[in-house]
Amino acid sequence: VPVFLFVAAPYIRRYVAGGRCKSTARLEGKVVIITGANTGIGKETARDLAQRGKVIIACRDTAKAEAAASEIRAETGNQEVIAKKLDLADTKSIREFADRFLAEEKELHILINNAGVMLCPYSKTADGFEMHLGVNHLGHFLLTFLLLERLKQCAPARIVNVSSLAHHGGRIRFHDLHGEKSYNRGLAYCHSKLANVLFTRELARRLQGKFQRQAGLTANALHPGSVYSDLVRHSFVMTWLWKIFSFFLKTPCEGAQTSIYCAVAEELDSVTGQYFSDCQPAYVSPRGRDDETAKKLWSVSCELLGIQWD
């Protein structure tokens, strides 16, 4: 068995690594925002895109964000890698980030909603939303709403939402969105990842009018794969398992490939409302294809955030 594993190891790793983005598309003169890009797949996505154009790293921890930006600037030679404060667990912070960005930057071509929380003990955001739903879905929903006009003005443009295979285990529990009646942190994560898929589907549908056909503003979602990162830090058991089975998990660089693919691949110029994994279309759960639930979630999200998004 040890000999077999030694011989098979390179093939196993190649399989685990999955698809790679082969696009060499440049982003000169273009601006990218990546949320949660101070670590993990977000940081690796920023590292790649910084070799192509201007990247704004939007994170809650400004010290870690600046450290990541500094590292990427030194490595790529691109001085247009900028760290900005964004706390997706606080709508005030989201609005402040959007206001500052719109005042300072005249361009926005790619928005990658990458940041996320996973397996958190029960807690709420500054606005009283359950943490997984609040950060993973509602925070990015509001951020996209606030930046949408700039994306339209700069189209062709892309919105990329990092979801997960975990969406298959999710449900939108409208009767208990904030987990006040019952809470399971694993399921809460699944629910929020399903919300990402449904948000992408409904956003793409709403953009598929005359504007989208002419100018090319697209929205797609993706599963990055099972990645060895600190996303599981809230669970001792998952952290332990991640270390034991790290050989069978993607590296952050491998996990970033589908995000990069959705952001730059030329063949996706007019593709919208889709879900990808390993740089190719992937299966979406029946709940992730439920248009009525997607429309209701949109309406409820607007109500919770106090916005009108028609």
Catalytic residues: 189
Q: Which letter, b or e, does each residue of 263-296 get, where b requires 16 or more Cβ atoms within 10 Å of its Cβ? A: bbbeebeebbbbbbbbbeeeebeebbebeebbee
| 23: its two tokens | 């696009």
Pairing of strands 275-277, 280-281: antiparallel
Give the three-state DSSP class for 84. strand
Instruction: Render 151-215 in DSSP notation, one character per residue.
Output: HHHT-SEEEEEE--GGGGG----GGGTT-SS---HHHHHHHHHHHHHHHHHHHHHHHTTHHHHHH
Q: Please, what is the Cα angle at 106 between 89 and 303, to 5 degrees?
A: 35
Amino acid identity, residue 28? Answer: E
Question: How many other C-beta atoms are found inside a 10 Å radius of the C-beta of residue 131?
Answer: 22
Residue appearing with tokens 């719109």: 102
> CA-CA distance, 99 to 104, in Å (whole number)?
9
Instruction: Using the structure block, give the residue that is written with the tokens 């110029």.
Output: 269
Of 199, 231, 204, the residue nearest 39 (C-alpha): 231
Distance CA 140, CA 200 (A): 11
Side-chain half-sphere of 262: how many Cα atoms within 13 Å? 36
Residue 58 CA to residue 169 CA, distance in Å, equals 29
- The whole-angstrom separation of Cα 140 and Cα 56 is 15
Which backbone phi and psi does 262 adopt, to 5 degrees?
Answer: -65, -25
Residue 100 token pair: 């500052």
